[in-house]
Structure 1
Amino acid sequence: MKDKAGRRPLRSTFRIGLVGLLLPLTLSSTAQTPLRWTSTAQDNGTTSATTASVNAARYVSPTQPRPYLASLSGQTVQPLAAGFDVAAFEKMAEHLTVGQRVPGMAMAIVHNGRVLSARGYGVTDVAAPQPIDAHTVFRLASLSKAFASTLTGLMVQDGSLRWDSKVSQYVPGFQLSDPNATSHVTVADVLSHSVGLQAHNAFDRDIEANGEYYDVARKLAYAPLKCAPGDCYAYQNVAFSLIGDVVFAASGTFYDQAVDRRIFKPLGMNDASMGLAGIQASTRWARPHVRSRNGWVSSTPKPTYYRLPPAAGVNASASDLAQWLIAQTGHRPDVLPAPLLATLHAPVVTTPGEMRGGWRRERIHSASYALGWRVFDYAGHEVVFHAGAVQGYRGLVALVPGQDLGIALVWNSDSSLPSGLLPTILDRAMGLPGQPWVETPADYDLLLAESPGAAPADAPKDSGTSSQRGTASPH
């Protein structure tokens, strides 16, 4: 079946009506209740958040989530398209650092549980250049959110938490402007940005002004609400970081220590760390860079968003990210079992605002947020995705379950140039017609030269200079 535009719709994985079927359990335990509730109120567009909260008490029946490496229809993993050429992608990454177009970057690509590439390109610091390699550490910004949801899932798995655990039970000081909403916010609501706040990125400016997390978090009590918890999406950093308080209260272990013990060490992420002290203690790490009239200028990482470890606290290298991708694509079941991954990656709430300019406008047919991850219909293929940006650093991660593929890109500048490399790799993996997603013709020509015939000979050569703006989620 095709839609009016002639596209094949994504498989039923993306039907948000199936959320209650996909998200209730990480293991087959009858004690675990589902993530979401359905309201008994008739919503005529005027129902208040309070009324919706009071009536949001009838839970959906649980069911086991789908296996990670297969769809609900049982379709097997598909091979990569014939034109997939890792060497070409590596040359494109290297070319992006020529002439300090970007100071430096790192890329990891994994497939079928194997590392195809994990390398660094360019330099750590234009003022005191050292070559970036596979073990050079970058700040991950919002790519950290998937670590928070994964840690939470491990605690659900061992019975320390439940997806429907109420945040107020673990964080007594937590308050929203509506007491009923406060009492209904769950762990899953926090991790899916479905707390109910009206504003996106609420109180981020306070964090950027060097506010301390606990002082800023108290301001959530005065933030306007748009909906009942679980009923709408608004991307958050401060509210998302409540999960760190929940982890500490439920386990007695500080959040950064729990991530290290349950994720970094078991997965062999030997360069990974948390926080400003963590990156500065690294053997080699990439300094952040910002533009000046004279080109790139390196600086010291700001501590601001490091004060929100679940939202933006992780540092990692290409080597680390390769192991992370292998685990997130289901090849480390000893650490991250397939049912847990299925829960983390299943859509929770729609995010149509993500289908915006550049490659997203052209390729994404639907968008949702899961638990610490975004989920896209990318030209008919499911892609689990996240982006991150904080001053002087950017990054993108994508998983393609249907092809057992994982890609991670990180770079140490505010440039948007490397963003186009991700859809370039995805298109090639899926056998889609080539597009000049990278912002300059030279990169596109390089890719065509590496893989003759992979794209139409008359493919456009000028990509413009603004097509990739806004591809990274803020902070």
Structure 2
Amino acid sequence: MNQNSRRRPIRSAATGLLGMLMPIAMSSTAQTPSATAAAFPVNIENAAAIPHTQPAAYRAAPAGTRVLPPAQGFNVAAIESMAQQLTYGERVPGMAVAIVQGGRVLSARGYGVTDVNNPQMVDAHTVFRLASLSKAFAGTMAGLLVNDGTLRWDSKVTDYVPGFQLSSPEATERLTVADLLSHRVGLPYNAYDRDVEANAEYYTLTHKLASTSLKCLPGDCYAYQNVAFSLIGDVVYAASGSFYEQSVERRLFKPLGMDDASLGLAGIQASSRWARPHVRSRNGWVSLNPKPTYYRLAPAAGVNASASDMAQWLLAHTGHRPDVLPAPLLATLHSTLINTPGEMRSGWRRERLHSAGYALGWRNFDYAGHEVIFHAGAVQGYRGLVALVPERDLGIAIMWNGESSLPSGLLPTVLDQAMGLPTQRWLDVDTDFGSDSLMAEDGAPATRRKGVSSNRAVASPR
């Protein structure tokens, strides 16, 4: 994306465009085989009978597009040294970083320790909790079903989950798969996140959505969600007949070679080596057991993965695994559906972003005139960042096991190096995670964001 690209007229996604949306696979929140009841009865028989057309490419890179190498100042060894230094002096207990470029894994390493009380060195196969980085897996899983012809992006949620209701019949009927995955449900920000933290069951909260006042009709405004987003799990189950976790493992983890990856609390605890979450006390870092709460929302926050796993994930999303994720699907997943200007207000985002939007489980940023596909994640004791730079064929994932946002400065440092931008002291800046935090677990009010973004969708997947 060049400097002028952000000045192009924004296309409004009026209701009439919904009929042009391309087919896409949907996903289910039936969490595990042991969780036999989904939030609502799902309509597997009717799902199979709903007619679908074959998906068409939303956007594809023009033939002959030249991918630039990273700028001259890009230095993987220096990045690894910075990551190592972030674990010194109790800045953060442990970290894992994966960097890919040009279809090659340049680095997939661990730094620091898994647990300050029982320290083992973090390595490439140490598993971290991904929190909201999981949302890209949900969008991608749905996309595979769309590719199969099992789903459409404009499929109505009630076609697959007929018992689901919002507070108005019009909104209930209008809500689509794409709306779920792009946080365009119309609810207030982070609806019922505090109830999740208070151990409320997922199915209880999804039923409460029927009595929750809406800020807009689905598709018309943006407000980040975890409970509502996770309805995509129920859709996946109805569309595929497989539990969401089983679908992700079979369609993503296994074919991509993500051998350490898992879903859920039992998944991370069964890992041969995993990083415990840490919080600050007066005497330094204290390790904890992971909370089970947001693990109940597998599509929103259920994935666990290592640096080795994330390297494979980055390769796939930079287009180097077309056997699993074809280019037209990637283009659709990464394309902005709605503007999110509230994500530009703090830290490096305020300095570098010219525009921000949400796609399908991913954010899309104009970073100083360059397109960056991004997401962040934060739950108690874990933080993570992922970014893709299409024009440089670059991907980076950073994960750490402490409640410090200081390491987040490593990402803009790497991006600036890769793009040849003037250096900034980003690692000296403590910044927040925007709306990608699971607010209740971080101790901040889940309801502190009073408004919603009223910027209409700038494009619709077709």
Give the TM-score, by structure 1 length. Answer: 0.82
Equivalent of 2:289, from 297, 300, 311?
Answer: 300
Residues 378 and 433 in structure 2, CA contact (< 8 A), matched pair in contact too? no
In structure 2, the partner of 1:423 is: 412
Which of 326, 330, 340 is the matching residue for 1:351? 340
Q: 1:431 to 1:280 in 2, by over 3 A?
A: same
Aligned in 2, Cα 1:11/1:472: closer, same or farther, shift over 3 Å? Answer: closer
Q: 1:91 to 1:175 in 2, by over 3 A?
A: same
| Post-superposition CA distance 1:1-49 (Å, at most 9, x none) | xxxxxx923368x8641879xx999xxxx994699xxxxxxxxxxxxxx
Which residue does 1:140 correspond to in 2? Answer: 130
1:273 and 1:314 in contact (8 A); partners too = yes
1:471, CA displacement in angstroms?
A: 4.9
Contact 1:84 1:428 in 2 (8 A): yes
Structure 2 partner of 1:88 = 78
Distance of aligned partners of 1:431 and 1:168 in 2 relative to their CA distance in 1, 3 Å threshold:
same
Give, in whole Å, the separation in 1 of the partners of 2:6 and 2:24. 22
Contact conserved, 1:16 with 1:347, CA < 8 A, in 2?
no
Give the alignment partner of residue 197 of structure 2, picking from 208, 211, 217.
208
AA paired with 2:182?
A: S
Q: Name 1:332's counterpart in structure 2.
A: 321
Tell me if structure 1 keeps the 8 A contact 2:79–2:414: yes
Matches within 5 A, 1:317-466: 317-439=306-428, 466=430
1:98-113 pair list within 5 angstroms: 98-113=88-103
Does the aligned pair in 1 maintain the 2:371–2:390 contact within 8 Å? yes
Q: Which residue of 2 is the match for residue 65 of structure 1?
A: 58
* TM-score, normalised relative to structure 2: 0.84
Structure 2 residues without counterparts, runs of 5 or longer: 26-54, 439-462
Deviation at 1:66, TM superposition (A): 2.1
Distance 1:33 1:276, change over 3 A: closer
Q: Does 1:176 align with 2:166?
A: yes
* Residue identity in the other structure for 2:133: L
Distance in 1 of aligned mates of 2:128 and 2:184: 29
Structure 1 residue matching 2:427: 3-state secondary structure: coil
Which residue is equivalent to 1:163? 153
Shift of 1:64: 3.5
Q: Give the equivalent residue in structure 2 for 1:449.
A: none
What's the CA shift string for 1:291-346, capped at 9, x where partnerless?
11101000000000000000000000000000000000000000000000000001
The amino acid that maps onto 1:64 is: A
C-alpha distance in 1, partners of 2:437/2:9? 27
State yes or no: 1:276 paired with 2:265. yes
The residue identity in structure 1 corresponding to 2:432 is: R
Q: 2:11 aligns with which of 11, 17, 20?
A: 17
Q: 1:48 aligns to what?
A: none
Matched-pair contact (CA < 8 Å) for 1:288–1:413:
yes
Q: Deviations over 1:239-287 (max 9, x none)?
A: 0000000001111100000000000000000000000000000000000
The equivalent of 1:124 in structure 2 is: 114
Structure having greater relative contact order (Cα 8 Å, sep ≥ 6): 2
* Residues 23, 146 of structure 2: 8 Å contact kept: no
Instruction: Tell me, yes or no, if structure 1 residue 115 matches structure 2 residue 78.
Output: no
Q: Counterparts of 1:339 and 1:279 in 2: how far apart (Å)?
A: 32
**Percent identity of equivalent pairs:** 71
Question: Could you report, residue by residue, the CA deviation over 1:110-142 in whole angstroms, capped at 9, with x for unpaired residues?
Answer: 001100000000000000000000000000000
Give the AA of the match of 1:65.
Answer: Y
Given that 2:113 and 2:120 are in contact with CA atoms closer than 8 Å, whether structure 1 keeps it comes out as: yes
Q: Which runs of 5+ in 1 are unaligned?
A: 1-6, 36-61, 440-464
Distance 1:436 1:79, change over 3 A: same
Aligned residue pairs total 407
Cα 1:32/1:81, change in 2 over 3 Å = closer
Q: Identify the residue that residue 242 of structure 1 maps to in structure 2.
A: 231
C-alpha spacing 1:174/1:369, structure 2 compared with 1 (3 Å): same
Instruction: Report the RMSD for the aligned CA atoms in angstroms.
Output: 2.2
